[in-house]
């Protein structure tokens, strides 16, 4: 199992094809339940469930003037989210910048082999990782 996200608009089909993944599933956690993911979108977190141990390349697609900045609906409770950098940058950002302006997000957790790590405002979040964010209420989330 591997948690991940994408930093911007991407070519999902090319990413999967070039990763060598031929079996398994990609899922996301939406409105309190797991569902199959048909494509990868910024701000969404994903889990790969399968046996392939390789890494997946990230192929960002250039933005156009008609592309709308990403936004997702967070439910009250836990949400699996990714870091959006509005252009595909892979540079880490501060957790406080990532969650800034969203007082309903009270916790952000990162998975590690030793267990869940609670992040604080000075922690760095990485655009290709997925994080669990706890929201006290429903809200529209635009990320960084």
Mean pLDDT along residues 60-86: 88
Q: What is the pLDDT of residues 40-65, one digit of tens each?
A: 999 999 999 998 877 888 888 888 88
Q: What is the pLDDT of residue 126?
A: 93
Q: DSSP secondary structure string, the chain? A: -EEE--SSSB-HHHHHHHHT--S-EEEEEETTEEEE-SS--TTB-EEEESS--S-----B----TTPPPP-EEEPSEEEEEE---SS-----EEHHHHHTT-TTEEEEEEEETTEEEE--TTSEE-TTSEEEEEESS-EEE---
């Amino acid at each position: 199992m591997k948690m991940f996200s994408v930093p911007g608009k991407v070519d999902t089909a090319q990413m999967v094809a070039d990763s060598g993944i031929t079996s398994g599933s990609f899922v996301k956690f939406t409105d309190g339940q797991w569902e199959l993911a048909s494509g990868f979108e910024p701000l969404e977190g994903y889990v790969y469930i399968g046996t392939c141990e390789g890494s997946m390349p990230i192929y960002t697609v250039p933005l156009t003037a008609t592309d709308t900045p990403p936004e997702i609906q967070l439910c009250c409770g836990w949400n699996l989210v990714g870091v959006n950098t509005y252009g595909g940058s892979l540079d880490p950002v501060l957790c406080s910048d990532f969650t800034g302006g969203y007082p309903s997000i009270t916790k952000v957790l990162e998975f590690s082999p030793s267990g869940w790590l609670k992040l604080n405002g000075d922690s760095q979040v990485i655009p290709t990782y997925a994080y669990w964010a706890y929201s006290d209420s429903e809200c529209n989330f635009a990320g960084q």
